[in-house]
Amino acid sequence: RTTSIPVTEIINVKEGMVDILRQISVMAEDIFTVFYVKRVKGQRWVLNSSVFTAEDAQLTQKWIRHLQDRIKYYGGARPKRLLVYINPFGGRCRGQRIFDTKIAPLFRLAGISTQVVETDRANHARDHIMEADLEGIDGLVCVGGDGMFSELMHGLIGRSQKEAGICVDDPNAELSASHLRIGIIPAGSTDCICFATVGVNDPMTSALHIIVASTAPPEDVCSVHHQNQPVRYSVSLVGYGFFGDVLKDSDKHRWMGPIRYDYSGVKTFLSNKSYEGKVEFQVVKNVQSNPRDNTRCRSGCLICSESTSRLKLDSEDWSDASSWFTGSSTNGDDWLSVDGRFMAINMTCISSACPKSPDGLSPSAHLADGTADLILVRKCSRFNFLRYLKRHTNKNDQFDLPFVDVYRVKTLWFTPKYHEEEELGSVSDRKSFFGRLCRDSPAHSCWNCDGEVLPYSTISIRKKKKKVKFGLRLKKPTCILSPQFSCCKRPTCNVFWQDKAGNILKKHQAACLVHCQLIKLFARGIEDRQTG
């Protein structure tokens, strides 16, 4: 029997016969166990192992050393020390258990040492990162949901800004880059950031991605401002109306765990509220993609890899603070304004895919293209809104509805019709039967910013030029152009992008994904073969 394993996906090699998760080991000098990643259905990764017998103890040691050298050489920059933050109350309150039983043994096996901080309050992780000694730390890991990821991101951004001497209250300050990446062990309620980047919310898959140093391109991030003051950053959903109301109500029922979103979702759906206001946004015109082009962002995505150079070209547009909202186009991008009554205003930098909606709020959004997608759902009947929601769960296009519009944007301003102090219940809400069932019918909703309620209605959102780095994404590239790998003997290889006629359009260096280093392991002895 032959087993082929890419060296980049070997986790470690141990003497004897070892079962890491059940913590059983049988020591024998002529046996060794190779642990490696096995890909299973639905983008999941599991730890697999194969046991080998050598002729004698000396040969066993030789193979163990040989394989470990190979892992070091071809395995890339694997992390050695991680700082882990666990939210014991995220999702079903299983964060600590998941880490202790499933993740810690994997990290130990991979020779990764961890410093673990169990949070005892909201913002504990963020504050800890601001002050912690990060010397020698290769990455941060959160065990929790999107809220925990957001805390780590705010901590890292705050720290980098502080170290770079940038004022965090400056609305025009750009993000200063941090060398640290953030990994996510999903143990939250929505886990949308993990799901949209890894393709699944499975703790073991994420841990294996962290161990083998899978990386995503630095990710788009938006800053949210109120009265020209930056209040938060967001990578997934900034939503007003439906998703704001669901979140606000669900916060009162945290004890229910993830099901609170369904409970509050049904309540909010029945109340069928809509809110009046003006949405002004800057549509990105000069990109080769749009929210309805039916593509999916994957590792090696050409649209994302080209965004860095495009953002450099955009520099005047980004750096000129006063041109942020002049209402005029400086770069071929157009400002649009829509007045009306909305069921939902959602802006998302990524697809926001999650288990409830495997394709997400905007299935063709890109992780790192420097843009966000704005979805406007105008006032409609309950039946129509249900049609819209339902389409998030199946293959039907949720944008192909007359009351839904979608735009690829980089800036958004929202002004509610009434001043925030004026809580004028709208006439239609008061008349409605379900509206009366819910105690209050305010003129304002609130904003849901990556799962945090923002206490204001009037906000502006701006795509930041720099992005947040985090790990965990390794999918086969599928893009509008077909990539072709030419493998080499190094951890990186050339990727050629060709059009259908075979003309080379672009060539760049990338981490070798479909790796050429195949090791053929035989029961007696090992033959190491390199294919090119």
Ligand X SMILES: Nc1ncnc2c1ncn2[C@@H]1O[C@H](COP(=O)(O)OP(=O)(O)O)[C@@H](O)[C@H]1O
Task: Give the one entry of ligand 1PX, ligand X, Ca ion, none that residue 119 binds, where binding means its C-beta sits below a cut-off of 5 to 8 angstroms depending on kind.
Answer: ligand X
Select from 52-60, 347-355, 467-475, 503-511 the region that touches Ca ion (CB under 5 A). 347-355
DSSP string, 94-160: -HHHHIIIIIHHHHHHTT-EEEEEE-SSTTHHHHHHHHS--TT--EEEEEE-HHHHHHHHHHHHHHH
Task: Give the one entry of ligand 1PX, Ca ion, ligand X, none that residue 269 binds, where binding means its C-beta sits below a cut-off of 5 to 8 angstroms depending on kind.
Answer: ligand 1PX
The reply on whether position 366 binds Ca ion by CB under 5 A is yes
Residue 509 C-beta: closest distance to ligand X, Å: 36
First-to-last CA distance in the chain? 23
Select from 35-43, 140-148, 302-310, 334-342 the region that touches ligand 1PX (CB under 6 A). 140-148
The reply on whether position 120 binds ligand X by CB under 6 A is yes
Residue 86 C-beta: closest distance to ligand X, Å: 8
The reply on whether position 79 binds ligand X by CB under 6 A is no
Choose the catalytic residue: 138, 146, 220, 317. Answer: 146
Distance CA 317, CA 25 (A): 61
Cβ–Cβ contacts within 10 Å for residue 507, how many?
Answer: 11
Distance CA 276, CA 444 (A): 8
Please, which residues have CB within 8 angstroms of residue 97's CB and are 6 or more apart in sequence? none
Are 190 and 361 spatial neighbours (Cβ–Cβ below 8 Å)? no
Closer of 243 and 388 to ligand X (Cβ) = 243
Count residues contacting ligand 1PX (CB under 6 A)? 31
Cβ–Cβ contacts within 10 Å for residue 126, how many?
Answer: 21
Closer of 385 and 407 to ligand 1PX (Cβ) = 385
Interface with ligand X (CB under 6 A), residue from 155, 188, 244, 300 = 188
Distance CA 224, CA 192 (A): 19
Clarify whether 334 is annotated catalytic: no
Are 95 and 143 spatial neighbours (Cβ–Cβ below 8 Å)? yes
Select from 33-41, 51-59, 121-129, 357-365 the region that touches ligand X (CB under 6 A). 121-129
Enter the tokens of residue 424.
Answer: 């004028």
Q: Which parts of 149-188 interact with ligand 1PX (CB under 6 A)?
A: 188
Q: Where are the alpha helices (DSSP H) in 199-301?
A: 203-211, 242-251, 259-271
Active site residues: 146
List residues near ligand X by CB under 6 A.
87-91, 119-124, 144-148, 151, 188-190, 451-452
Which residues form the interface with ligand 1PX (CB under 6 A)?
145-147, 188-192, 236-237, 243, 246-247, 261-262, 265-266, 269, 352, 354, 356-357, 361, 386, 389-390, 392-393, 448, 450-451
